[in-house]
Amino acid sequence: TYQRSRAMSGIVIIGAGQAGASLAITLRAKGYKGDVTLIGEEPVPPYQRPPLSKKYLLGDMALDRLYLRPSDFYTEQLISLRLNCQVTTINCAENTISIGDETLTYEHLALTTGSSPRRLPAAIGGTLNGVFAVRSLADVDAMQPAFERGGHVLIIGGGYIGLEAAAVAAAKGLQVTLVEMANRILQRVACTETSDYFRALHESHGVRILEGVGLERLTGEGNVTGAILSNGKALEINFAIVGVGILPATNLAEAAGVTLNNGIETNSQGQTSVSNVWAAGDCASFPYQGRRIRLESVPNAIDQAEVVAANMLGAAQDYIATPWFWSDQFGVKLQIAGLNTGFTDIIVRNSGSARSHWYYNSNTLLAVDAMNDPRAYMVAKRLIEAGKSADPIIVTNPQSDLKMLLQG
Ligand code: FAD
């Protein structure tokens, strides 16, 4: 019947971000000839988010360099890119999705919906004008005028996004206060040594960092003009940036009956609990070395989406994640290899302006934070990927050539 033939029509991808674009591009690169529809609710073609809190916010990167591909690319590749379109429901039994009144049919569906920033409740001033999140291009364009006007900015949250925004604000000459509720900045993601390094870096550039201090509420009428902190102190501010983490975008999947488990649950091949529905990127959790993880990074979005594309075409390939991440603050390039979960020891390597923190679980090397030390990063990444450790005596000696660790 017409219904049935329509039901075998191509691949629909919900979410035109890093993972969605990577998936569509890979399908064509692998020679897939069917329909590919890439649907995004944002008004712009897929772009890279990392510069939003770094070079783009600083004004050092033009808008067109954010885009992953020029718009023409999608037309040439016969990828139907639907922008400004929010998918409102998925019907797994019928193999359809809807965008308002419109219904599309799929053979395979990919969920690459990313994540959304945690917001502050309206009751504590979270919806006042001048309170900004840092997730989308629209978010960052909205805060740009406040950066230009200058004054005092309060950053709520001492994770990577908050610290990067603080660094840009300080570089632009603003007065910057950052509050972190936990005992130290980066507590959720890094060792004390890395927190100490970045605290000192920020303080040397005039950023005021308050740790173990939460936000009680933001104040103002219409516009935010002040903040009351958990230690009772009141601040006068011109605007606020909220960087208190993200939540995987799972609403659509949940409503469609797709199993969730720290995001959308996928198996080692990126397949969800529904066999022709797949997920990749920030929204998806997957098996990793005997546990289940979800990564919030560009390399994960790209690599996982590439594996999903191959598997939609029948490759039956496992996704073997090789976690890595980076951050830029005040000219310091931080590169992270591996996952530090469960570390017991930290070995510090100090050689001039290059510094690295090596995370071990007793004798096993888990991860490295490398600050302005691309060689330590590169060596550690190769060791971790090969399942090898690193002799702490070689690591701590600044005279030793780390490449020795790769031999044998
Ligand atoms: P996204 O890129 O967020 O794409 C998801 C898209 O789906 C969004 O455009 C969303 O609007 C859309 N969508 C959701 N629901 C629907 C729907 N129902 N209908 C239509 N569209 C929908 N990672 C690094 O590795 N290094 C960094 O230095 C780094 N810096 C970062 C800095 C910032 C400011 C931010 C915000 C992130 C940063 N990240 C960094 C993280 C990285 O950008 C993300 O991990 C990556 O973008 C995830 O890709 P994704 O495709 O899963 O999600």
Which of 132, 143, 297 for mutating ligand 1's site (highest number of atoms within 8 Å of CB)?
A: 297
pLDDT for 6: 44
Q: How far, in Å, CA of 389 to CA of 183, rounded?
A: 30
Give the Cα separation of 342 and 5 in Å (integer): 51
Total Cβ atoms within 10 A of residue 196: 15
Strand partners, 288: 291
Q: Closest Cα to atom 29, ligand 1: which residue?
A: 50
d(CA 253, CA 277): 10
Range 218-242 burial, b when 16+ CB lie within 10 A, else e: bbbeeebbbbbbeeeeebebbbbbb
DSSP result, 43-71: SS--B-SGGGGTHHHHT-S-GGGTBSS-H
- CA-nearest residue for atom 38, ligand 1, is 50
Q: Cα 205–210–212 angle (5° rounding)?
A: 150
Starting at the earlier edge strand, list the strands of the sheet with 102-105.
89-91, 96-99, 102-105
Query: Would you tell me the crossing angle of helices 298-312 and 18-29 to the nearest 10 degrees?
Result: 40
Alpha helices (H) along 17-153: 18-29, 55-58, 71-76, 137-149
User: Residue 18 to residues 70, 258, 282, 373: CA-CA distances in angstroms?
Assistant: 14, 22, 10, 27
Q: Which atom of ligand 1 is nearest to the CA of 295?
A: 45
pLDDT of 408: 66
pLDDT of residue 407: 87
Q: In a 3-state reduction of DSSP, which class is residue 224?
A: coil
**What does each C-alpha distance from 8 to 15, 80, 257 come to in angstroms?**
21, 17, 21
Distance (angstroms) between ligand 1 centre and the Cα of 49 equals 6
The predicted structure's pLDDT at residue 342 = 95
Under-70 pLDDT residues of the chain: 1-8, 408
The ligand 1 atom at the shortest distance from the C-alpha of residue 140 is 34
Burial 277-304 (b: 16+ CB within 10 A, else e): bbbbbbbbbbebeeeebbbbbbebbbbb
pLDDT of residue 1: 36
The tokens for 143 are 């805060």
Dump pLDDT digits (tens) for 36-58: 999 999 999 999 999 999 999 99
Cβ 207 vs Cβ 219: under 8 Å: no
CA 133 / ligand 1 centre spacing (Å): 13
Coil vs helix vs strand at 312 = helix
Ligand 1 shell residues, CB under 6 Å: 14-20, 39-42, 49-50, 52-53, 86-87, 112-114, 134-135, 161, 249, 252, 281-283, 296-299, 301, 325-327
